[in-house]
Structure 1
Amino acid sequence: MIGKGKSISHTLASMNYGWNKEKRAEVIFKEHLAGDTPGEITEEFRIIQSQNERCKNNTLSFVLSPAIKDGQDLSGTKLNEITSRFIKEMKLQNHQSIGFVHRDKHHLHIHLYTNRIALNGELYKDSFIGKRSQVAADKVAQQMNLTRAREVQKEKLEELKHLRKEVQHIHQQVLQAKPKSLDEYLKKMKNHQVRVLPSINKANQLQGFRFEYKGINLKGSQIHRSMNGNNIILAISQNNRYTRLREAPKTMKLLDSPIQLSTGIINKITKDLMKQAIKRALDTGMGAGF
């Protein structure tokens, strides 16, 4: 099961989406609420939220997605249990919550909306809410013997094995042509029908790449471990020099403009360069002994 979470401000619009009958929506969970319409529930949220007017993103929105096979056998009672356990793992028992199941697609999923302001007026901290949602959903899946997120991801990647190999082969071909810039690498990949999407973090730093090809969109590391951001940047940086690269670059040009590399990528490249230096030293020493 996969869990996603974020803080939002558009409570009523989200409630209306959750309650959409066209999506065969059913209420499967309700906590500390009495209303029977999106407007009534939103008003109940608003009364509690009035205790903290400074908080703008005052509603938590979660999506819980069991594996397709699991979803086919989940009753309303089981869906209620999934949501209740998730609320407990997130420590949100003292908050108003309402959960809907959507069955409009082949993949059943739960939309859960929770008041970020507790009944006692305390503000729920939403730092790393996305990651914490993933962890909580995984714990619930483990508790209820449902398919866990890592198993779902493994199955998905196995299904896409052929396409992943195609992208990896194209990537290797392009690197063999020794592109000397990220823009050249992106252009050559595009010539082979692979769209490379730079991943930029909140600090506006480059932290990796995603690859689009024949309907798939995967991180480089999901295609092959050699296609993570630091390996690609290291290879291009080395192509662009006449002498051996001795330290990790801090910036690179992307779309003809300089962009800062993330600390994670810089640290990984530094480690790779140290490994290369140690290997050269060992190889040189070994050769000298014969």
Structure 2
Amino acid sequence: MIGKGHAVSGTRVSISYGWNQEKEAEVVLREHVAGDTPAEIAEEFRIIQSQNLRCTNNTLSFIVSPTIEDGKDLSKKELEVLAKKFLKEMNLQNNQSIGFVHRDKAHTHVHIYTNRIGFDGKAYNDSFIGKRSQIAADNVAKELGLTRVREVQQERLNELKGLRQEIKNIHDRVLQSRPKSLDEYISKMKAQRVEVIPTINKANQLQGCRVEYKGVNLKASEVDRSMSGNRLIPAISQNRSLTRGMEAPKNLQVLNKTVQLSSNLSTKIAKELVKGAVKIIRDTGIGYGY
């Protein structure tokens, strides 16, 4: 099961989408609301939201999606239980909420709209709400015996085991040629028909890479842990020299563009560089007075 979430400003528009009859919408959840139309529910939200006019994105929009197979068998009552447990995991069980199931596609999913402003006038903290929604959905799936995201991902990776090994073999050969930059690595991988796609966020920070091969697109780390950014970049850095390789780079040239390293990736790279330096010292005897 997958969970997504973000804060929005258009309460009535959002609820109207959820209540869209063309999508075979059906109300599966009501918490502290009584209205029978999007306008009435939005007005109930607005009354509470008027206590905190500083918060503009004052409605939380969630999508909770069981797998296709699980969704086929879930009744309206079971979807209500699922939605309530999700809100409890998000610590939103005491806020106004309305939830709808959409069955217009093979993939049954629930839209939940929750007032970000509580009855006390305080705004719910929406920091990392997307990630927290994923975790909440996974916890609910585990509790209800539904298929979890990690199980689906692992099954997919098992199906692609042969293809992943092909990519790993190409990666190993390219590293043996000792590329001295990430761009050189990307170029050499491309020459072997493996497209390496850097993942760069809005803050111009490199977070990792994806790879595309024979029509399949995967995170590099899903192919093999040695291909994750925190292991790949140190391996390339150490091709330049031991001294420079011991320092975690602050930024990198990627596809003719200078990008920063995310703090998380930078920290992991620093640890890998230290491990690599210690191994070189141990294997060569440098620093032991030999």
Q: Provide the TM-score with structure 2 as the length reference.
A: 0.86
Q: 1:104 to 1:87 in 2, by over 3 A?
A: same
Q: 1:265 to 1:89 in 2, by over 3 A?
A: closer
Looking at structure 1, the residues matched to 271 and 152 of structure 2 have their Cα atoms a distance apart, in angstroms, of 32
Task: Provide the residue aligned with 1:279 in structure 2.
Answer: 279
3-state SS of the aligned residue for 2:272?
Answer: helix
Cα RMSD after superposing both structures: 2.5
- Tell me by how many angstroms 1:164 deviates: 2.9
Task: Provide the residue aligned with 1:161 in structure 2.
Answer: 161
- Tell me by how many angstroms 1:251 deviates: 1.4
| Counterpart residue type for residue 27 of structure 2 | V
Looking at structure 1, the residues matched to 135 and 14 of structure 2 have their Cα atoms a distance apart, in angstroms, of 24
Task: Provide the residue aligned with 1:246 in structure 2.
Answer: 246
Task: Provide the residue aligned with 1:148 in structure 2.
Answer: 148
In the TM superposition, what whole-angstrom CA distance separates every residue of 1:250-278 from its partner, at most 9, and x where no partner exists?
A: 21112323222223222222222222232
Task: Provide the residue aligned with 1:34 in structure 2.
Answer: 34
Q: 1:224 to 1:78 in 2, by over 3 A?
A: same
Task: Provide the residue aligned with 2:208 in structure 1.
Answer: 208
Task: Provide the residue aligned with 2:66 in structure 1.
Answer: 66
Query: Which moves more between the two structures, 164-173 or 132-141?
Result: 164-173
Task: Provide the residue aligned with 1:10 in structure 2.
Answer: 10
Q: 1:279 to 1:109 in 2, by over 3 A?
A: same
Looking at structure 2, the residues matched to 269 and 118 of structure 1 have their Cα atoms a distance apart, in angstroms, of 42
Looking at structure 1, the residues matched to 22 and 258 of structure 2 have their Cα atoms a distance apart, in angstroms, of 47
Is 1:115 aligned to 2:154, yes or no? no
Task: Provide the residue aligned with 2:47 in structure 1.
Answer: 47
In the TM superposition, what whole-angstrom CA distance separates every residue of 1:114-161 from its partner, at most 9, and x where no partner exists?
A: 110112322111112122222222222222222223222222322333
Q: 1:173 to 1:16 in 2, by over 3 A?
A: farther
In the TM superposition, what whole-angstrom CA distance separates every residue of 1:158-188 from its partner, at most 9, and x where no partner exists?
A: 2333443343344334434443333333344
| Counterpart residue type for residue 271 of structure 1 | K
Is 1:257 aligned to 2:262, yes or no? no
Looking at structure 2, the residues matched to 246 and 142 of structure 1 have their Cα atoms a distance apart, in angstroms, of 42
3-state SS of the aligned residue for 1:72?
Answer: helix
Query: Which moves more between the two structures, 113-122 or 33-42?
Result: 33-42
State how 1:82-231 maps to structure 2 within 5 Å: 82-201=82-201, 203-231=203-231
Looking at structure 1, the residues matched to 198 and 89 of structure 2 have their Cα atoms a distance apart, in angstroms, of 34
In the TM superposition, what whole-angstrom CA distance separates every residue of 1:188-236 from its partner, at most 9, and x where no partner exists?
A: 4445554433223454321211223455433211221111012222233
Q: 1:24 to 1:62 in 2, by over 3 A?
A: same
Q: Which runs of 5+ in 1 are unaligned?
A: none
Q: 1:160 to 1:39 in 2, by over 3 A?
A: farther
Query: Which moves more between the two structures, 190-199 or 79-88?
Result: 190-199
- Tell me by how many angstroms 1:8 deviates: 1.6
Looking at structure 1, the residues matched to 105 and 173 of structure 2 have their Cα atoms a distance apart, in angstroms, of 39
| Counterpart residue type for residue 107 of structure 2 | H
Q: 1:38 to 1:163 in 2, by over 3 A?
A: farther
**Equivalent residue pairs, number:** 286
Q: 1:40 to 1:190 in 2, by over 3 A?
A: farther
CA contact (8 A) 2:251 2:261 kept: yes
Looking at structure 1, the residues matched to 102 and 9 of structure 2 have their Cα atoms a distance apart, in angstroms, of 22
CA contact (8 A) 2:237 2:244 kept: no
Q: Which runs of 5+ in 2 are unaligned?
A: none
- Tell me by how many angstroms 1:103 deviates: 1.9
Q: 1:279 to 1:237 in 2, by over 3 A?
A: closer
